[in-house]
Chain A
Amino acid sequence: MTRARTDAVVEEDRTSWLVFSLGPNQLAVDLGRVVAIQEGRDIFPVPLVSPRVLGVTYWRDQALPVLKPEVLSEALGQGEGGLRRAQPSGTSSRLELLGVMEWEGDYLGILFDRIERVVRGAEIEETGEDELPTPRSDLVKPWGRYRRRALYRLNLERILEQVREGG
């Protein structure tokens, strides 16, 4: 293991991670990227934006873009096929919670079912990437196991990049 790799692992172990569930999947995001968590609100679709975006919701005097949950499900290989749209009149998501994530000044809402826990990286059982089902895209990264369930990390930078590019 190189020095740089060692430093990264130590940093990962010290970082706090928000572990949450989305359907049968368990995902983690660096707690430092989570600006707010609130109950799901009405989400309104916006035309001519990335098909990965469900719509926007009102949050702190701004229109917050919300990612379609299917984007993450499909990245994990459990998509329902095709990206659906929110209803134009506004729709309450079937998912309970909305996490507001920040990356380099951009904000994105991510819907999920429930919070599992906030954990230190050291609490994650490292399994090696080969032991977890390989994701279909690089929007999530295999990490390890938490409470015996597979755990994937959100690749927030890549998700925002795709939304920004409109793809």
Chain B
Amino acid sequence: MSEQAHLVFRLEGYIFAFEIQHVLKVHDLETGTEVLDWGEEVDLARFFGLESQGKLNRLFRVDMLVGNQPWCFRADAVEDIQNFGLALTLPFPPLLRQADNLTLKGLFFDGLRLIHQLDAAELMVSRRFRAMRIQHDAGKN
């Protein structure tokens, strides 16, 4: 795994990281500033099957550009950009690897927290992710 800079965000108590090269912009939705549409909005909590922690807190919207595909998602919290230089980078356990979780590239462990490193390119080719984008489009029309 690389030690590139990552955008770290929280979703239903889980902590995830995307390489910063795929992140275009982060919007704080509480400021009231107008936020323009940016591709399809995908519910990553639903994609990862995360159980709701009781309150919906999606206070941030993150705009992504992967290849030439714009899309965005909402997060409960967004942290500083980190390069994980001091964190341990752990490969995803081979025993748990399935076609469904190829989007989980690996794990960072900083002694207290486990951060799931996401593979943005893999996400774009994931059948489930693509299906969710299509459903979103259908809902819009």
Residues of A with Cβ closer than 8 Å to B?
44-50, 53, 56, 58, 61-65, 85, 87-90, 106-108, 160, 163-164, 166
Q: Indicate whether A163 sits within 8 Å of B95 (C-beta atoms), given known contacts A47-B104, A48-B100.
A: yes
Closest to B103 in A: A48
A48 to B94, CA, bound (A): 13
10 contacts between A and B (CB under 8 A): A47-B104, A58-B90, A61-B90, A62-B91, A63-B107, A63-B109, A87-B13, A90-B112, A106-B94, A163-B96
- Contact: A46 with B13, CB < 8 Å? no
The 0/1 profile, CB within 8 Å of A marked 1, for residues 87-115 of chain B is: 01011111110101101100101001110
Tell me which residues across on chain A come within 8 A of B107, comparing CB atoms.
46, 56, 63
Min CB distance B86 to A, Å, is 15
A90 to B93, CA, bound (A): 17
- Contact: B114 with A65, CB < 8 Å? no
Size of interface on B: residues with Cβ below 8 Å to A: 28
A22 to B14, CA, bound (A): 29
Min CB distance B5 to A, Å, is 22
Taking A47-B50, A63-B90 as known contacts, 15 extra A-B pairs with beta carbons closer than 8 A to each other, sorted by chain A number, are A44-B113, A44-B114, A46-B101, A46-B107, A47-B101, A49-B98, A49-B101, A56-B93, A56-B96, A58-B109, A62-B91, A88-B15, A107-B95, A160-B95, A166-B98
Min CB distance B114 to A, Å, is 4
- Contact: B95 with A47, CB < 8 Å? no
Is residue B139 within 8 Å, beta carbon to beta carbon, of the partner chain?
A: no
Tell me which residues across on chain A come within 8 A of B95, comparing CB atoms.
65, 106-108, 160, 163-164
